[in-house]
Amino acid sequence: MNLDLVIAYGSAAEQLARRTAQLSGAEVVEVNRRLFPDGEQYVKVSGEVKGKDVAVFQSFAFHPDTLLVEYALIVDALKGMGCSRVIGVLPYLAYARQDERFNRGEPLSARVFASLIEATGTDEVFTVDMHLHRFHEIREVFSIPASNLTAMPLLAGHYLEKGGSPNALVVGPDSESRQWASKVSESLSSECVILEKERLGDRQVKVSELRGSNLGSAVIVDDMVSTGRTLLEVIGKLRRIGIERIDAIATHSLLVEDAFIRLRDAGLASLITTDTIENPHTKVSVAPLLARTLLEKYGGRG
């Protein structure tokens, strides 16, 4: 069954777009990009999209501002070519962590970024394990149709396939991680513990103590790993109560500032992550999840 839609891509999600197209049977329209001498971006879409729905893949890691402009240019080009609708497939959405005005004078960044995506002309959005905490539903952030998919069952399945223990203690580092840790716990049918975290700065965190456990292994679950400081704190707590094998599951891995090296040196057995952000540590692709979702919504009219 082929999709009744074509796929385009931004520079941060080209490989994921091609994987999804291969699984779904969707046609890919090519996007050529270059920079003008002054740093401005230029894009050109090659292909026939008139009257068609187009899924534009883009992730917003590391250089979200630049990538947003690139995405906006692609969407405008497609609209100018007469496409019917643009569906933003945005596996990793930046600025979602600032989901409240924590201090006077701060922006509500999650809504600002969502409104900028809407302003490009995007008609619908799909994300993967978006950081939702104070906003409980993605529809509280976007005013256009939006769906937040989860990769946690895929990640838990990979953990088990590679010899992970179905009885491992599942640990969520903070209350925000409960939504993801609970899904992994259900997949494993194991105990789940949610800790409390206090953020002391951009690179410093403190997590609550763990009770003793007679289990020999644990898996830490969160939506993303950036500096790795939270994982390091939890690894230390697990070591103190005698846990011998510690793995981690996270949908999005930014792994900045040598985070992976520090985690490995701290004794992390494995980090299981996805290709929502292209990185050398990817173990699981979300392409099957995205292909299935797009097929269910747009497939079958041919």
Residues 6+ away with beta carbon under 8 Å from 106: 98
Please pick, among 52, 197, 206, 297, the residue that the annotation labels catalytic. 197
Across 178-269, the runs of DSSP E, i.e. the strands, are 192-194, 197-199, 205-207, 217-225, 245-253
For 94, 270, 276, 285, the CA distances from 260, given in Å and listed in that order, are: 21, 10, 17, 19
Show pLDDT as tens, one digit a residue, over the chain (302 residues).
446 789 999 999 999 999 999 999 999 999 999 999 999 999 999 999 999 999 999 999 999 999 999 999 999 999 999 999 999 999 999 998 777 777 888 888 889 999 999 999 999 999 999 987 666 788 889 999 999 999 999 999 999 999 999 999 999 988 888 889 999 999 998 888 888 765 545 555 455 556 656 578 999 999 999 999 889 989 988 988 888 999 999 999 999 989 999 999 999 999 999 999 988 889 999 999 999 999 998 875 44
Q: List the chain domain ranges.
A: 6-150+286-298, 152-284
Residue 197 appears among annotated catalytic residues: yes
CATH topology of domain 152-284: Rossmann fold (3.40.50)
Say whether domain 6-150+286-298 belongs to CATH 3.40.50.2020. Answer: yes
Do 152-284 and 6-150+286-298 have the same topology in CATH? yes
pTM of the model: 0.91
